[in-house]
A and B are shown apart, each in its own frame.
Chain A
């Protein structure tokens, strides 16, 4: 059987800002570093690109450092399971693999939170970050009318990106109350260079309206979204569009951390001041520890790598910067907290689990995620609850179910061959 095994002193999972900073920093200590990511190239979602020249300076600088480093980068590779002691099973187009590492840095990022409302499953209803990802992977959306709805500074950033790409952004609906958003805006001067970038970004051509305290009520169309109804709780208005971009904030991706046995509380991987998780030799950096943005991710990646390569003293000067980013993130969470009205959006027949087409009326808040899964198949489809999990947490109060391998859909061949390979590796040791 082919040798599936690759060895590393440090394996970094996720090649976004946190993972790149961690990998580059670890490699500076001459550690053998392996960086794996599901995407087509390093950069993660925020630094996703087809043309590196268009990236912000920080992104270019880190990607250059990565290219010049001795880090081995494996893209198009999903981590699907853990065999034992940090032997991670992977799958890529080249087939299965097993990574044996002494230390693991988790930088698995975050994903968008979607909330169900009537019509949210129509083609043309995409994530706000999803729309940006589609643009960055070559989609031409020129001339389409878009409505952007949900919460958080990402909406404004996406409006800017779509506007620059020739999309006619009709309206941006922010569910947070105007009072909260203004208070947050006024406090931004304390943390320049961060959200300012998003908050003050231009909307591009045909400047859209930015409606505060407004949220999406429903979308309608046949096989494609044609119109969207927005409300401020008193009045509703319906607008025609070809694209509805929705995002209700970001949710940390904690599946791999939970699979490795790391403590997770309130959807966040628990780490100490040195980015150490509850499991020895497993570190976590960036959004999985709580969504705090790109600058926080970079500094956390550096701290994790310094500690993982036994240079904790060099991490000390970075801790204060990290803490400042974290305090900022807490203010964001307060400002853009989800309003209760959003719980009332699904109708009885609204689909809540898109993979299995489970409808709202099939669920009850007396269950937990496990019971809902067993009784209705909610969360059992290919996305494994990555979309409906956060939604049902918000709507029903379900706690996340325990993760079970494989954490990403994998071929049977991967599971078979990697378990054989892992046994032979264990035999060698």
Chain B
């Protein structure tokens, strides 16, 4: 299966090329994607773009829904989990 390399919080992670950013993070063992307004750890819930719990920063753009975003070679993902 084709794979790509992405950066997750500065760490190099290999991810399957046909997957989403959410899948890449979970497969790399990252389950906490962000902190809620009161500081709780949060990760993906609906998997389909509705709940907005999987928001991460992608290539400097904040609030991207990781479950809707396909991975791309060289992409840089920042969580605040």
Contacts and interface: CB of A to CB of B under 8 A. Distances in A.
A112 interface: yes
Nearest to B33: A123
B47 A130 contact: yes
A383 B49 CA distance: 9
Contact of B48 (A111, A224, A357): A111
Interface residues of B, number: 36
Given A45-B48, A127-B47, A131-B47, A138 B42 contact: no
A123 B43 contact: yes
A129 B18 contact: no
Contacts of A355: 37, 52
- The A interface, classified by DSSP as helix, strand, loop or mixed, is loop
A379 to B, nearest CB: 13
Contacts of A348: none
A123 B42 contact: yes
B41 A139 contact: no
A141 B27 CA distance: 8
B43 A354 contact: no
B45 A139 contact: no
Contacts of B53: 354
B68 interface: yes
B18 A123 contact: no
A134 interface: yes
Nearest to A387: B51
Contacts of A45: 48
Contacts of A125: 45
A363 to B, nearest CB: 16
B7 interface: no
Contacts of A114: 45
B44 A126 contact: yes
B39 to A, nearest CB: 9
A140 interface: yes
A387 B48 CA distance: 12
B26 A40 contact: no
Given A121-B36, A137-B67, A129 B31 contact: no
B20 A138 contact: yes
B46 A130 contact: yes
23 contacts: A39-B48, A51-B18, A112-B46, A114-B45, A122-B41, A123-B31, A123-B32, A124-B31, A126-B46, A127-B45, A130-B47, A134-B22, A134-B26, A134-B47, A138-B19, A139-B23, A139-B27, A140-B26, A141-B26, A224-B41, A351-B40, A354-B36, A354-B51
Given A127-B45, A130-B45, A223-B81, 5 more contacts: A38-B49, A121-B40, A130-B44, A134-B26, A140-B26
